[in-house]
Structure 1
Amino acid sequence: MRRTKGLSFYRRRKKISTTIVHEILSYVAGILIAAFLAFVIVYFVGIRTSVIGVSMEPALYNGQGILINRFAYKLANPRAGDVVVFLPNGNQNTHYYVKRVVAGPGETVQIREGILYVNGKAVEDDTYDLIADAGIAEHEIKLGNDEYFVMGDNCNSSEDSRSGNIGPVSRDDIVGKAWFKMAGGGSNMGLVK
């Protein structure tokens, strides 16, 4: 005879539904995929830094945040006109420098009478005013196989490859390409040009 009233210390075992298990596993897989994608994006593109100083005005302003694309130069080399982020002489104890590439490996650079010459031809670009200080580029410089000559857009307020303590930038010291600029400093968000 079955007992219908009173306390019972025996519970029925509930069966685990396969649909619930499938749903839980799909959530876990989604979280793992999202974490992996976040890691990849942060590793390759996610370095954020700020521009220090006025050397890149009007393109980039003092204090303006930028994202660095570290992946861009894994497949290709920097080209003239690219805005690169580098550590001068590979010094890990300094801030990132943000400058524009004006010449690449094997090219010659010289500044005469305030004008930039690459491979003996004057660079006719509205970006650069007359350059007041030629620095080490007063005499012709031939860049090595992995060297780049970089300058700030606001060249008369820039410490760049013309400076003896920076000089031509080695390919190994370039962290990546300045890719995206944040709002701030009087500039809109957008790609760095």
Structure 2
Amino acid sequence: MKKKHSTLYTVIQFSFILLLALFLRAFVLTPVEVVGISMEPTYHESDRLWQSSFLNPKRFDVATFPSPRDGKRIVKRIVGLPGDTIRMENDQLYINDKKYDEPYLDEFKNALTDGNPLTTDFTLKNSATAPATVVPEGKYFVLGDNRRKTDDSRYFGFVDKEAIVGVVYFRYYPLNKIGVQ
């Protein structure tokens, strides 16, 4: 009789551990692989990241969502939140008419030698989000860090809040860049 309870207890423990592992894998430690160069210099091709669907996206968080073009999961930076006005003028980001620094772009800006800005001037009105002048409720405006070689909200419009799969919080590969993001 004692052996039966011991076996049952082991099965219950194993089932609980398996369910916990599946839960963590699905919602907390969801792996993402960076495809392409649109997030350089922050992330490079084949970087491996963890994201969480429990984190609420905040300004400048890096989030993943299905591409409006082909449905493949992409990684972009959230710049505009609902109610924001967004514009870029002389390579300077303005949100609600306030200047914002983007230190994650310094490496690319410092490497420019052609005299052109990293990010061309735009407003919501002259981007794919037109005729909007503010980010609508339930939507985000996203940009890739490699502003000259990215497909982002300037070209495909706003991203629905429901489309956000998760917020990136940790890079686990390459090993020399491992850490909280």
TM class, shorter-chain normalised? 0.7 to 0.9
| Alignment-derived partner of residue 54 in structure 2 | 71
1:160 to 140, 143, 152: 152
1:107 to 84, 88, 98: 84
1:40 to 18, 23, 27: 23
| Alignment-derived partner of residue 191 in structure 1 | 180
- TM-score (normalizing by structure 1): 0.75
* Greater C-alpha Rg: 1
Return closer, same or farther for 1:168/1:178 CA change in 2, 3 Å cut-off: same
| Separation in 2, partners of 1:96, 1:141 | 27
Residues 1:131 and 2:121 aligned together: no
| Separation in 2, partners of 1:36, 1:162 | 41
Q: Are the equivalent residues in 1 in contact too, given 2:85–2:124 (CA < 8 A)?
A: no
Q: Deviations over 1:55-112 (max 9, x none)?
A: 2223211111122211223xxxx111211001134x6x53211111112000000112
| Alignment-derived partner of residue 10 in structure 1 | none
Q: Are the equivalent residues in 2 in contact too, given 1:88–1:169 (CA < 8 A)?
A: no
- In the alignment of these two chains, the number of paired residues is 166
Q: Are the equivalent residues in 2 in contact too, given 1:111–1:138 (CA < 8 A)?
A: no
| Alignment-derived partner of residue 172 in structure 2 | 182
Q: Are the equivalent residues in 1 in contact too, given 2:35–2:46 (CA < 8 A)?
A: yes
One-letter amino acid of the structure 1 residue matched with residue 87 of structure 2? Q
| Alignment-derived partner of residue 72 in structure 2 | 95
- TM-score (normalizing by structure 2): 0.80
| Separation in 2, partners of 1:190, 1:171 | 26
List structure 1 runs of 4+ shifted beyond 6 angstroms.
Answer: none
Alpha-carbon offset, residue 118 of structure 1? 0.6
| Alignment-derived partner of residue 129 in structure 2 | none
Please list every run of 5 or more consecutive structure 1 residues that lacks an aligned counterpart in the other structure. 1-17
| Separation in 1, partners of 2:170, 2:43 | 11
One-letter amino acid of the structure 2 residue matched with residue 133 of structure 1? T
Residues 1:20 and 2:3 aligned together: yes
Name the Cα RMSD after superposition. 2.2
Percent identity (aligned): 27
Return closer, same or farther for 1:157/1:148 CA change in 2, 3 Å cut-off: same
| Alignment-derived partner of residue 13 in structure 1 | none
Farther off after superposition, 106-115 or 39-48: 39-48
| Separation in 1, partners of 2:176, 2:151 | 22
